[in-house]
Chains A and B, each alone.
Chain A
């Protein structure tokens, strides 16, 4: 069974640009959540989607947004990039919100803002 797939794996953007990251969950998983990982702040929750609806949102500015499609695939977008947005962005998927709380992470998208 394929794991969580994230694309692109590495990207470099210029300050002020925007970026879109993609996530394909494990087959059959309907919930997708996103996390930002930085050396200084660790792993921080961005948002959580289930059945195309955002169920929960972390304490990030409105420049960070996401969506989930009917096939459970998800995208997150960061507009007006700042240097501090440089991070590993991790997507995680889980079966649903009832049967358990285990989330499975992808390998992440490394974003560098210059």
Chain B
């Protein structure tokens, strides 16, 4: 019930294309869903986050789509660039805690 399932494990996209990463959760008590981007040798950096009262959130080229009934959320990277090549993690947490449950990560490679 505490798991967050992330797919795909790896993704190769052409420059300018759309990258889509999906996550699914089970615990309906989760109320915060962030996405983190991690480059090799660095710590994860917050990319964008959403709460379940919103179905979509957009920040620049990054969009989170949230489907509360399906208990799924996804990250869309529009106009993907080689600089977006990194590992992406989705996560979920419940109210009043910083115990994040992370997905297993998606290694994205954007070809120039």
What residues make up the interface of A, taking CB atoms closer than 8 Å to B? 4, 31, 33, 35, 42-45, 48, 55-56, 58, 90, 92, 94, 97-98, 101-108
Interface residues of A, dominant DSSP: strand
Cβ 8 A contact of B49, one of A45, A102, A106, A107:
A102
Residues of B at the A interface (CB closer than 8 Å) are 31-32, 34, 36, 41-46, 49, 89, 91, 93, 96-105
Chain A residues within 8 Å of B43, by CB: 4, 90, 105-108
Shortest distance from the beta carbon of B92 to any chain A beta carbon, whole Å:
10
Contact status A33-B99, CB under 8 Å: yes
Contacts of A97 in B (CB 8 A): 96-98
Give the complex CA separation of A55 and B34 in angstroms. 21
Task: Give every chain A residue within 8 A of B45 (Cβ-Cβ).
Answer: 105
CA distance A15 to B23 in the complex (A): 37
Pairs of residues from A and B, 3 with the lowest C-beta to C-beta distance, nearest first: A105-B43, A43-B102, A101-B32
**Known contacts A105-B43, A105-B44, A108-B43; is-contact A43 B89 (Cβ 8 Å):** yes
Q: Are B97 and A43 in contact, CB atoms less than 8 angstroms apart?
A: no
CA distance A43 to B87 in the complex (A): 12
The CA-CA distance from A100 to B43 in the complex, in Å, is 20
Q: Say whether, besides A102-B49, A105-B44, A105-B45, A94 and B98 are in contact (CB < 8 Å).
A: yes
Q: How far is the CA of A98 from the CA of B32 in the complex (A)?
A: 13
